[in-house]
């Protein structure tokens, strides 16, 4: 039995959900999101509660049960609060700034890196060393933050690079004479 799948997903006030076949559409203050579940689970909405149940007890049905419940919960969170990733830049001369929809990164290369924000994701740079990625799709926010981080991952000797806020970088000791 899936402990996650058994929990119903409650819809807060201002959020509505509708099921048509295997697709659930959730509308809220931050937009509309939808998810199409596999045929191994059934989706139902009753009294501001979304319930997910497996169709049978096969291994695949039990796997999809918990995953589908988590996906629906993420839809609800996305249209109410949204998702947010914070990145920190460390290194002498490393900085970021927004110019319209483009994030300009100065990361020690011979050229500036221009990163265009994808649709549905907003990127802000309140300080030169902080980048905030926000949106209502958790997967898209995480992927965008990972692409930005990929331009200059933190290195283990001095810790220079782009890191997630609160990320621990294992530091190595340099060469000894």
Domains annotated for the chain, with CATH where assigned, are 3-80 (3.90.930.12), 83-164 (3.90.930.12)
Q: Phi, psi (5° rounding) for residue 31?
A: 125, -165
Q: Where are the beta strands (DSSP E) in 29-160?
A: 31-36, 41-46, 49-54, 83-90, 95-99, 102-106, 113-116, 121-127, 130-135
Which of the four pLDDT bands, split at 50, 70 and 90, describes residue 1?
low
Residue with tokens 């049905």: 61
DSSP states of 7-62:
S-EEPPTT-EEEEETTEEEEEETTEEEEEE--TTEEEEEETTEEEEEESS--HHHH
Residue with tokens 């969170």: 77
Give the tens place of pLDDT for each residue, 43-95. Answer: 999 999 999 999 999 999 999 999 999 999 999 999 999 999 999 999 999 99
* Element (DSSP H or E) covering residue 65: helix 59-80
Region 112-127: mean pLDDT is 95
Which of the four pLDDT bands, split at 50, 70 and 90, describes residue 2?
confident
Please tell me whether the overall predicted TM-score, pTM, comes out greater than 0.85 for this model: yes
Residue-level pLDDT at 172: 94
Residue-level pLDDT at 177: 81
C-alpha closest to that of 76 among 15, 125, 119: 15
Which of the four pLDDT bands, split at 50, 70 and 90, describes residue 3?
confident
- Report which DSSP code applies to 115: E
Distance in angstroms (rounded) separating the CA atoms of residues 30 and 15 = 10
């Amino acid at each position: 039995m899936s402990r996650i799948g058994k929990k119903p997903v409650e819809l807060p006030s201002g959020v509505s959900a509708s099921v048509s076949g295997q697709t659930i559409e959730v509308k809220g203050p931050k937009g509309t999101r939808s998810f199409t579940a596999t045929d191994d689970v059934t989706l139902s909405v009753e009294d501001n509660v979304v319930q997910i149940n497996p169709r049978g007890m096969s291994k695949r049905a039990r796997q999809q049960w918990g995953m589908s419940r988590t996906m629906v919960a993420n839809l609800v969170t996305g249209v109410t609060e949204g998702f947010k990733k914070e990145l920190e830049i460390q290194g002498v001369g490393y900085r970021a700034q927004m110019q319209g929809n483009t994030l300009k990164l100065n990361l020690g290369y011979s050229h500036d890196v221009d990163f265009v924000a994808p649709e549905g994701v907003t990127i802000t740079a309140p300080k030169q060393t902080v980048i905030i990625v926000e949106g209502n799709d958790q997967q898209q926010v995480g992927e965008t933050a990972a692409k930005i981080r990929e331009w200059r991952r933190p290195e283990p000797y001095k810790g220079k690079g782009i890191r997630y806020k609160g990320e621990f970088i294992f530091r190595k000791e340099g060469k000894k004479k």
